[in-house]
Structure 1
Amino acid sequence: MQCNDDTMSTSKFKTIYVFCGSNLGKKKSYQDYAIDLGKEQVMTNINLVYGGGNIGLIGLISQNVFDGGRHVLGIIPKALMDKDITSLTIGEVKSVIDMHQRKTEMSSNSDAFIAMPGYGYGTLEELFEVITWAQLGIHNKPVGLLNIDGYYNSLLSFIDQAVEEGFINPSARHIIVYASNAKELIEKLEDYYPYH
């Protein structure tokens, strides 16, 4: 982990939406880097938008960002609140009608997106939707993968194969930014330039 505690700096991002699981995962490194991401957001004055809840990796990130004095916004569809699958939400809670409204709200309330390891089909769908929106020019916000211990290597290889086979434009491949630690990833996201 490379969380630098020496000085606080200000990122060009006001808020980042973090996709992350409600499980901790089998490796302690996932938990360590989740905490590191939260601390890095605090140190660079970045607020958090997330899917709500206080369990799993997202609970670690949201608690660290909240404890560090940054604004935390959880956007939760009413159907998920009723099932109590998110547990308590840290910070401000915004209830929305459905997943479509959630995606619209998360996009309009954030300057960049980061996907941590540890999510299911729903979050994969959300991740690929924001990538697709970038490809179509609906937004110009960077999308980053925190590639802890090579977690995303298979996904990145699959995308590279789709480029090689002619199904993804090579310039669109650059929509996805990735790094193995939070500090480097945020720096790369800040340097991102829309491909289109």
Structure 2
Amino acid sequence: MEKHRHFIIHKPWGMISQFVNPAKRKKKLLGDLYNFPAGTMAIGRLDVASEGLLLLTTDGKISEKIRSSKFEKEYYVQVDGIINEEAVEKLKKGVEIGFDGKKYITKPGKAFLINDPKFPLRSQKIRDDRHGPTSWVSIIIREGKFRQVRKMTAAVGFPTLRLIRVRIGNIKLENMEVSGVIETDKLM
């Protein structure tokens, strides 16, 4: 039996977290980064406008385990405006968002203000100072509903401008180059 393979990547902005492009959009796919083996799957996804840590594997059991609520997922989020402590407290306690056409209260998590993490600029500029100030918050959750973090920041009045996943469990993005791929013996 062939040994399973695991990968850690730094997904760039504008890339689809899939190997097949169902909508035939002119976007890059994961397979454009590296010659992944057949059967490789993304563990969870990041939407086209999101960046950061993405894990891939050929092992469905590992994928299911990591997608579960056993592991924290941490995001650095640049928001429109100067986010305040009241909004951060709401993010921690859980906020109401829409999911599958229904109202959903997110599970409690962690959130705190952070300084600009100074990530490399995106290939598409977000905006400049003429549009008003921005700020950064770290959001740590154990669930992952569709576009959850974006919906959470909007629910507290601070829409997301840039979203970067920096950690899953104990695996961190740290100094990985954008579009970088690391093959590893195990993930968790």
- Per the TM superposition, whether the score is higher than 0.5 is no
Q: TM-score, normalised by structure 2?
A: 0.28
Q: Which has the larger radius of gyration?
A: 2
Higher strand share: 2
Larger helix fraction of residues: 1
